[in-house]
Amino acid sequence: MDPTTLGIIVAVALMVLMAIGTPIAFALGGVSLLALIYDRGLPELIYFGETFFDRIAEFGFVAIPMFILMGAAVASSPTGRDLYRSLDLWMGRLPGGLAVSNIGACTIFSALSGSSPATCAAIGKMGIPEMRTRGYPDGVAAGCIAAGGTLGILIPPSVTMIIYGISTETSIGRLFIAGVVPGFMLAGLFMAWTMIACRLAGGYANPLAQAAGQMKETVKANVDTNMRALVRVLPFLAVVGGILFALYGGVATPSEAAGVGAFLCLALAVIIYRMWQVGPIKLIMRDSLRESVMIMLVIACAEVFAYALSSLFITQTVAGAIAEMEVNRWVLMGVINVFLLVAGFFLPPVAVIVMTAPILLPIILAADFDPYWFAVILTINLEIGLITPPVGLNLFIIKGIAPDITLRDILMGSLPYALCMVLGIVLLCFFPGIALWLPNLIMG
């Protein structure tokens, strides 16, 4: 059977398995195993096992569970609540100030947790009920949280950037810093659209700002409360700053920085919020273990899948077809973006990166694109997939937080933010320096 036909069969089989609810890792591993046995027979089982375990045995992957533990410690503590309160104080005077505050909280919490689902859940549990109480439309309330949560995989420290760096053998520290400016640019675009949407809907002001002239004592009390909340958040922000400094300054490797960061965040959660009981600590460890095992299993099975595609010459055939396209390099980049966008509709970011990054990187380099700039483009495409059906993870997290909001309202509220991300990709294509200026400045 020729590689093209075999590749189509493998792709269809994978989609069918995922459509019937098979976990991503099992679908990838099962299809890979059957394809290898079909083409090479039972002896290929030996290489299947070796590939599965050799990939996840790399020391660099230690950073993943450590960053997940760091994020779980932050997400399980009241840090999100305190961050939300303090930002509401500073941004409350803007049009749609509460919604803008939620996006700001998502932006900072993303840096603390490195996880889109954790950001979406932590801020959404507080922000959505409060916005609905103050009269915000359901679409705005749900959409701004769903979109703000996607920043977790772009703003450092980001687990997906670590996986990209290991898969493509690029500098993780440089990848982290390349995501900083684009991450805040997207946050700014989200805030701008939120203010426009709230203005079109009639505008929503912070009750504290409205009452400032009549209830000064109440306002002062709230200001004091919110300032104390901000003080409690600052040590966590200092930990993130210290991690980034250690990485960019060459003081520590990503694995070492992640381990120290996880310990400090866990210690801060215990000391600042008095989480002395066994229950909360056990919950943090359980959530960290569950997510870490899930990600590592997806990575291992995706590596086996990539090995199967390469062994069956499917990868080489696809890469050759793309490379032989006699088109402008920006047309090629457009094709790659569409491919990534469609892949993000159906697969989680981790699976897409492990499966596609090693294949696409040689094509990107041959077309004279920067691999760190491309990492940001790839990540934003995957962010769009988090808020678009059929597998938009953040949409379902919002649905779980606010079950009385229809999925249609959540989706319609999120789509404008997806367009903001598309605008962000366009801006990055016209101005690559948005992603490359800061890493070039700091790391040369």
- Give the pLDDT confidence of 112-123 residue by residue, as tens digits: 777 777 778 777
Sort 104 into a burial class: Cβ within 10 Å, 0-12 / 13-18 / 19+: buried
306-318 pLDDT, tens digit each: 778 777 777 667 6
Average pLDDT over residues 131-156: 84
d(CA 26, CA 14): 10
Kindly list the distances between the CA atom of residue 154 and the CA atoms of 107, 181, 183, in Å, as whole numbers in the listed order: 10, 10, 6
Contact 66, 253 (CB under 8 A): no
φ, ψ for residue 365, nearest 5 deg: -65, -40
Answer whether 252's CB lies under 8 Å from 246's CB.
yes
Minimal CA–CA distance to 107: which of 158, 148, 71, 144? 148
Asked if residue 239 lies in contact with residue 268, where contact means CB atoms within 8 angstroms, the answer is yes
Q: What angle do CA 39, 43, 46 make, to 5 degrees?
A: 115
- So what's the pLDDT on residue 217? 42
Count the helix, strand and coil residues of the chain and give each as a percent rounded to the nearest 5. Answer: 80, 0, 20
Q: Which residues contact 227 (CB under 8 A, 6 or more apart)?
A: 86, 89
Higher pLDDT, 102 or 87: 102
Indicate the average pLDDT of the chain.
Answer: 79
Tokens of 277: 């009981």
Are 300 and 167 in contact by the 8 Å Cβ rule? The answer is no
Question: Mean pLDDT lowest for which of 239-248, 356-365, 381-390?
Answer: 239-248
Higher pLDDT, 76 or 144: 144
- Around Cβ 48, how many Cβ atoms within 10 Å? 17
pLDDT band at 381 (very low <50, low <70, confident <90, very high): very high
Q: For residue 212, what are the contacts with CB-CB under 8 A and spacing of at least 6?
A: 219
pLDDT grade, residue 20 (50/70/90)? confident
Length of the chain: 444
For residue 367, give the 3-state DSSP assignment: coil
Q: 38-52, 56-70, 381-395 — which one is most confidently predicted on average?
A: 381-395
395/393 Cα distance (integer angstroms): 5
Given a contact cutoff of 8 angstroms between Cβ atoms, the answer to whether 366 and 323 are in contact is: yes
Q: Quick check: 207 pLDDT over 60?
A: no
The model's confidence at residue 262, banded by pLDDT at 50, 70 and 90, is confident
Instruction: State the average pLDDT over residues 33-43.
Output: 79
Q: How many CB atoms lie within 10 A of CB 110?
A: 29
Cis peptide before 157 (omega within 30 of 0): yes
Q: What is the pLDDT of residue 435?
A: 93
Task: Give the per-residue pLDDT at 210.
Answer: 46
- Lowest mean pLDDT of 178-182, 268-272, 372-376, 435-439, name the range: 268-272
pLDDT attached to residue 366: 83
Cα–Cα distance for residue pair 118/120, rounded to 1 Å: 5
Are the beta carbons of 29 and 304 closer than 8 angstroms?
Answer: yes
> What is the CB neighbour count within 10 angstroms for residue 250?
9
Residue 203 is predicted with a pLDDT of 59
Can you tell me the distance from the alpha carbon of 181 to that of 18, in angstroms, rounded to the nearest whole number?
A: 35
Q: What is the mean pLDDT of residues 196-220?
A: 55
pLDDT at 223: 58
Query: Tokens 């083409």 correspond to what residue?
Result: 39
State which amino acid sits at residue 348: P
Q: Which one has a higher pLDDT value, 143 or 359?
A: 143
Calculate mean pLDDT across residues 118-143: 80
| pLDDT tens per residue, range 220-234 | 545 566 667 667 777
* Residue closest to 106 by CA, chosen among 89, 92, 87, 91: 87
Residue 181's pLDDT band, with cuts at 50, 70 and 90, is very high
